[in-house]
Structures are given as structure tokens and as C-alpha cells.
Amino acid sequence: MTEIPTKPVLLTGASGNLGRHLAKALGARGWTLVLTDIVPFPDPLPPGATFTKADLNDGVTILRLATGCGMILHFGGVSTEHPFEEVLGPNIRGLYHIYEAARREGARVLFASSNHSIGFHERETPLDDDCQFMPDGYYGLSKAYGELMGRMYWFKHGVENVNVRIGSSFPEPIDARMLSTWLSYDDLARLCAAATLAEKTGSCVIWGASANSRTYWRHDARETIGWLPQDSADPFAAQMAGKVSDNAIQERYQGGGYTVMDYTRTAPPPGKLFNR
Ligand code: 15L
């Protein structure tokens, strides 16, 4: 795909692992990128890109950065499990600033959601995009809230949004769980490009995983946005097979290690009908 968006694209979280890869990959396509992060951008700027150090809590600056942009790729905020107070500002108030900016600009949002919004689903239960939220911590909860914020802005204000429930986006899978959840950097970049260039998206959900035969996930809106993953974790299967933890809870649920962080339940885990 060589098409170039007609308006600049705002990329938050540009200095993070995924942001850096996206800045490079989308910059190489000739896209005009407005990059921002709370920490400095560590790489050479792609041609035509600008970088502004900004806090997502600062709504005025977010509005200014989004001015003239047609798309916001929102990868900023806290990206792993943290105490509630640390998640609140960047992931809840910050996301509100992103959606207000999108509303004012008539821009579309790609929200980097996470599998941790549904992390307490059993690994053996294949999920579609309309499954219940089952957050496995404050971080996952903020991602569920973020997806719902997108739905509200779509119904109430017509702001389009693509909610990507990212599995595990790393250069390569690093444990057996990632044979199911891995998303290659290149598939992620192609997904961001497709979501930006699609004619219409409405408010939709995409499972952010490569074409892994051991996937936990099924139906989503990939046909609507014209994205199909091209990579797969399958070739890493033999290497990763033994890389499992000795924690039965962690191995039971899709969210893996996040489900057991600060886990204080003493009774046996709930059954499949999760509230019994
Ligand atoms: C995420 O949401 C995190 O951002 C990432 O660091 C991984 O922990 C990933 O989930 C995962 O579940 O593997």
C-alpha cells in the first residue's frame, strides 16, 4: 500500500517501542507525521516529521498538536500494569483529550487497546470482538474504558475509531503464550496504515495478532478496514513450546502474567460462568 493520507497523522507514544517502529515504517511511506511523547524521541526524525514532548494530561497541547490532523494513532499512556493512580491521568484523562481533539478536527482515532481488557477469559474459549470485557488489572480496565469511550464518541459525535486489542507486539515471540498472542511489528504497521486509509471504519474492534494458528481470537472488523496479517508465530512453536510458567492461574487465562499480579483471591478461581 503506497497511498498517502491527505492530512498529517498524529502519533502519540512515539518514543515507545511500538511508536518508534511506526514512526519509521509510516515515515518511510512518505507520511507526514506529528510525533509526540512524554519522553524525548530517541531516533532520527523521519523526513517531514515533527516531534513535541508533551504530557497527555495537558489537553491544550494535545488539541494544538492535533490541529489539521485527519488521524490520531494513539499509542501513548501507561502500557503495562501499574497502580490505579498512575494509570488514571495518562490513560483516562489523556484519552479524553485525544477524543476531544478528534472531535474538534473531525479526525479518526486508532486506539492501541490491549488483550488485557479481556484478560480473564479462559484460553480455551475462542473470543469474537463482541465478547465481554474481562480486564485483568487497572491497565486492562483503562483499555476497556478507552474502547467504550470510542463507542460513545462514535454514537454521539460521529468520531470514527478503530480499537486494536493488541496481543503481544514484540520483535519475536518470547514464550509459549505468544504463539497465540504475537503481533509482528510489520503486521502492526500495515494495520495502522489500513485503519488510516480505509474509507469508513465506524467504531470497530480488531484483534491485534498475526496469523497465529494457536490464536484465542476469531471474528473482528478486519475486512471492513482491509487488513490481513501476513506474519505468524507458528515457525517459533518448537523454540517456545516449553516456555510456560508454573502458575496455573497465569496459564489458564488469556492475559497470562497480568492476571496474577497483585492476585489476592484465596478461593478457587470462578468457573466458566465467571460470576458463579
Ligand atoms: C500489553 O498490553 C503490554 O503493553 C505488553 O507489554 C505485553 O505485556 C502484552 O500486553 C502481552 O500481553 O503480552
Digit-coded pLDDT (tens) for 16-26: 999 999 999 99
Please state whether 271 falls in left (phi above 0), alpha (psi between -120 and 50) or beta: beta
Side by side, the strands of the sheet bearing 161-166 are: 50-53, 33-37, 9-12, 71-74, 108-114, 161-166, 203-208
Length of the chain (residues): 276
Report the separation in Å between the CA atom of 200 and the middle of ligand 1, taken as the mean of its atom positions. Answer: 28
Q: What pTM does this model have?
A: 0.97
Mean pLDDT score, 35-58: 98
Looking at ligand 1, which atom is closest to the CA of residue 166?
2
- Which residues make Cβ contacts (< 8 Å) with residue 135, sequence separation at least 6? 116, 117, 118, 119, 120, 141, 143, 144
**Catalytic residue at 253?**
no
Ligand 1 binding residues, C-beta < 6 A: 79-80, 114-116, 166, 168, 181
CA 16 to centroid of ligand 1, rounded, Å: 13
Tell me the average pLDDT across 44-56. 98
Q: Where are the beta strands (DSSP E) in the chain?
A: 9-12, 33-37, 50-53, 71-74, 108-114, 161-166, 203-208
Candidate list 138, 139, 145, 185, residue with the active-site label: 139
The structural domains of the chain, ordered by start, are: 9-260 (3.40.50.720)
Per-state percent for the chain, helix, strand, coil, to nearest 5: 35, 15, 45
Q: For residue 126, which of 220, 252, 206, 216 has the smallest C-alpha distance?
A: 216
Lowest mean pLDDT among 29-33, 260-264, 267-271: 267-271
The yes-or-no verdict on residue 73 having pLDDT over 80 is: yes
Q: Match 489523556 to its residue by C-alpha cell.
A: 94
DSSP 199: S
| Residue 274: per-residue pLDDT | 58
The radius of gyration computed from the CA coordinates of the chain, to the nearest angstrom, equals: 18
Residue 60: partners with Cβ closer than 8 Å, 6 or more residues away:
none
- pLDDT tens, residue by residue, 86-132: 999 999 999 999 999 999 999 999 999 999 999 999 999 999 999 99
Q: How far is the CA of 104 from the centre of ligand 1 (A)?
A: 31
d(Cα 35, Cα 13) in Å, to the nearest integer?
8
Question: Which pLDDT score, from 0 to 100, does residue 182 have?
Answer: 99
Neighbour-count burial for 243-270, b at 16+ CB within 10 Å, e otherwise: eeeeeebbbbbbbbbbbbeeeeeeeeee
Read off the DSSP letter of residue 184.
-
Distances (CA, A) of 137 to 39, 115, 249, 258, 274: 25, 11, 14, 7, 16
Reported as a single tens digit per residue, the pLDDT across 175-222 is: 999 999 999 999 999 999 999 999 999 999 999 999 999 999 999 999
Is the pLDDT at 69 greater than 70? The verdict is yes
Residue of 74, 136, 166, 244 to test ligand 1 pocket, by largest number of atoms within 8 Å of CB: 166
Taking Cα atoms as reference points, which of 111, 97, 96 lies closest to residue 66? 97
At residue 275, the pLDDT reads 53
Question: SS3 for 51?
Answer: strand
With the most atoms of ligand 1 within 8 angstroms of its CB, the residue from 17, 74, 79 to mutate is 79
- Looking at every residue in the chain, the average pLDDT score rounds to 97
